[in-house]
Structure 1
Amino acid sequence: MAQHNTLGKAGEEAAARYLEQNGYTIRDRNWRKNHLELDIVATKHEELVIVEVKTRSNTDYIEPQDAVNWQKIRRIVVAADAYIKHFRLDIPVRFDILTVVGEPGTFKIEHIKDAFYPPMF
């Protein structure tokens, strides 16, 4: 497995642990439907939380959250819509970004709640 894939997988593991330690219930990880994907789908206080995880070894070139551009946001929102319809959910939805920076065992995690709102298509 390529080094960036290993780092990304470790980052998602750390992100899931962080969420669980902070009272979130993980519904799904790496949920896929056709070409759509959601990193983590969780719930807390009767709210569905769609979490995009961005893992980087450092922030020398770009902050992890800056990699979530409007195209990525659109794909996440479309995937979230598919998820909600698939499971027939009727609860409020929030979109968060979890940034995971460093190396496994020493990750620094930042949780950006309400990182973006669904754009109007």
Structure 2
Amino acid sequence: MALHNKIGVLGEEIAVRYLKKEGYYIVERNYRNKFGEIDIIAAKESYTIFVEVKSRSSENYIELAQSLYHKQLHNIRQAAIFYFSEKNIHLSSIRFDLIALKIDPDAKKIDKLKHFTNIIN
């Protein structure tokens, strides 16, 4: 597996652990449909939260947050809407979050983690 793939997998594992620690319930991981993939679908209080995870070994948070382009945000939104339709559940309060991680791949640990909430209006 290529280094960037290893970093991505490690980042998602760390994000799931972080979310659970913060009281989120993990509904699904790596959900895919014709619009794209959602890394993590979580729930907390009355919200269904669609979480994009961006992991890098050498970028800062601003660059990570800006790495989500308009088309990616549109696809995430469309995938979330399709999720509710496919699972035959009513729309609830939804939120789109980004977890940005800077990872030291040699030590397999987090250098920094930032949780951006409500990244799509």
Using the size of structure 1 for normalisation, the TM-score is 0.89
Alignment of 1:101-116 (within 5 A): 101-103=102-104, 104-116=108-120
1:92 aligned partner? 93
Extract unaligned runs of 5+ from structure 1: none
Q: Tell me, in whole angstroms, the C-alpha distance in 1 between the residues paired with 2:8 and 2:53.
A: 9
CA distance in 2, matches of 1:6, 1:107: 16
Share of identical aligned residues, percent?
34
For 1:44 and 1:107, the matched residues in 2 are separated by 26
Q: Distance in 2 between matches of 1:97 and 1:51?
A: 6
Question: How far does residue 35 in structure 1 lie from its aligned partner after superposition?
Answer: 5.2
Runs of 4+ in 1 over 6 A off after TM superposition: none
Stretches of structure 2 that go unaligned for 5 or more consecutive residues are: none
State the shift of 1:115 in Å.
Answer: 1.2
- Which digits, 9 at most, give the CA deviation of each residue in 1:5-40, with x for residues without a partner? 000000010001100000000001101124521110
Structure having the larger proportion of residues in strand: 2
**What SS class does the counterpart of residue 63 from structure 1 fall into?**
helix
The reply to whether residue 25 of structure 1 matches residue 25 of structure 2 is yes
Corresponding position: 1:4 with 2:4 = yes
Q: TM-score, normalised by structure 2?
A: 0.89
Q: C-alpha distance in 2, partners of 1:79/1:9? A: 21
Could you tell me how far apart the structure 1 residues matched to 2:120 and 2:35 are? 22
Deviation string, structure 1 residues 63-114 (Cα, Å, up to 9, x no partner)? 2111111011011011101111112232110000000112221341100011
* Residue correspondences, number: 116
